[in-house]
């Protein structure tokens, strides 16, 4: 999933050139919890394979989400790496279904942000599908700006809030 047309591409490039638009949040990610890097299913820890807990343990802290630039929805190399890790877990757990939650920061109007969150969640869904994950396993919902992960009104908080989060659906 890439930029839809040349004008948007120009806008995106302009935005990057302007620069202030801090790219990814992961520069400042907190340290990974124990268990990160374990690419196999967790065993012996009481974690139920295929559960949300198992998913988070497998993909690592913040590995359940990808981040976007202001008003953008393209999946860049860093996002692709995150989604590849997710897809590996999804392939190991073929019965599991997930919801992709799309979110926006608070600098957009409400209705538009719902649409923007839809774009972001679908961009992530489409990339997972391109890796072989059956798209029928993936629900999409946009929360727009209704459910910020970070509550501040700072560039750092906004960068964390422009996100698509993969959540395991409890069977």
Partner 1 sequence: MLRPITFSLALLLTTAPVLAQTAPTPPVVTTTEPRETIEGTLSQDRTVIGIPPLATASVQTVAGLRTDSLGRQIAEVIAADLERSGLYEPIGPNGVPAITRAEVQAPRFAEWQARNAENVVHGFVDAGSNGSLVVGCYLYDTALGSELVRKGFEIQPGDWRRAAHKCADAIYSRLSGESPFFDSRVAYIAESGPKGNRIKRLAIMDSDGGNHRFITNGQALAISPRFSPDYKKIVYVSYLNNRVRVFIYDVASGSQKLVTESANATFAPRWSPDGTQILYSMAVNGNTDIYRISANGGTPVRLTNTPGIDVGGSFSPDGKKIVFESDRSGGQQIYTMNIDGSNQQRISFGGGRAATPEWSPRGDLIAFTRMGGGEFRVGVMTPSGGGVRMLTNSWQDEAPTWSPNGRVIQFFRTTRGRDGKSSLWQVDLTGVNLRRLPTPQDGSDPSWGPVLP
User: What is the CA angle 66-30-17, rounded to 5?
Assistant: 50
Q: Name the minimum Å distance from CB 116 to partner 1.
A: 7
Q: Is 85 helix (H, G, I), strand (E, B) or coil?
A: helix
Write the interaction track for partner 1 spanning residues 34-63; mark x where CB under 8 A is met and - where it is not. ------------------------------
Q: Cα-flanking dihedrals φ and ψ of residue 138, to 5°?
A: -115, 115
Nearer to partner 1, 47 or 101 (CB): 101
- Would you count residue 149 as binding partner 1 (CB under 8 A)? yes
Q: What are phi and psi of 123, to 5 degrees?
A: -60, -40
Residue 70 β-bridge partners = none
Structural contact between residues 96 and 121, judged by C-beta atoms closer than 8 angstroms:
no
17, 18, 95, 151: which one contacts partner 1 (CB under 8 A)? Answer: 151
Interface with partner 1 includes 79 (CB under 8 A)?
A: no
160 binds partner 1 (CB under 8 A): no
**In this structure, are residues 99 and 169 in contact, taking their beta carbons and an 8 Å threshold?**
yes
Q: Which residues of this protein are in contact with partner 1, per CB under 8 A?
A: 1, 4-5, 7-8, 10-11, 71, 73, 99, 106-112, 114-116, 118-123, 126, 140-142, 146-149, 151-153
């Amino acid at each position: 999933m890439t930029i839809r047309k040349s004008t948007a591409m120009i806008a995106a490039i302009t935005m990057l050139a302007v620069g202030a638009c801090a790219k990814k949040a992961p520069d400042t990610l907190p340290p990974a919890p124990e268990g990160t890097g374990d690419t196999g299913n967790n065993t012996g820890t009481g974690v139920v394979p295929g559960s949300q807990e198992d998913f988070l343990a497998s993909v690592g802290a913040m590995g359940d989400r990808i981040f976007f630039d202001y008003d953008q929805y393209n999946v860049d190399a860093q996002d692709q790496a995150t989604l590849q890790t997710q897809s590996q877990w999804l392939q190991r757990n073929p019965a599991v279904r997930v919801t992709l939650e799309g979110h926006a920061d608070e600098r957009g109007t409400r209705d538009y942000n719902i649409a923007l969150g839809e774009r972001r969640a679908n961009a992530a869904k489409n990339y997972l599908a391109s890796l072989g994950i059956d798209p029928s396993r993936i629900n999409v919902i946009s929360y727009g700006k209704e459910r910020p992960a970070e509550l501040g009104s700072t560039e750092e908080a906004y960068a964390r809030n422009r996100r698509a989060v993969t959540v395991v659906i409890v069977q």
